[in-house]
Amino acid sequence: PAAMVDHGYVLMRKRELTLTEADLTRPEPDEPRELTALQHAVAQHRDETLRMRAELAGQREQLTHCQGLLAEQERLRAEQEELLSAVRSSPSWRLTTPLRAAKRRLRRRRA
């Protein structure tokens, strides 16, 4: 096909070269794309930081709301426990204990 181009051949030889991490990450001084890439990275990190801060604020608000709900539920549970304790220690509850026990025995026999 016409789109195929003959590129020819390249002879490559291995060079003895030792590279460090610093050699690979060091910016090239006269390369304008380095600065552009760094500016882009800074902008991305700034945007991500702002997004994450907003998300964190929302989660803190939700946590505060949930803690309020939990405190209210704990208060209601304690109130119900007090009411139950008052009923169980009342004279009428103690007097009807044998009747409740007899009712349980009848139910077991029927089942």
For the chain, the maximum distance between any two Cα atoms, rounded to a whole number of angstroms, is 107
- pTM for the model stands at 0.54
pLDDT in tens, the chain (111 residues): 566 677 778 888 888 888 899 988 888 888 889 889 999 999 999 999 999 999 999 999 999 999 999 999 999 999 999 999 999 999 999 999 999 999 999 999 988
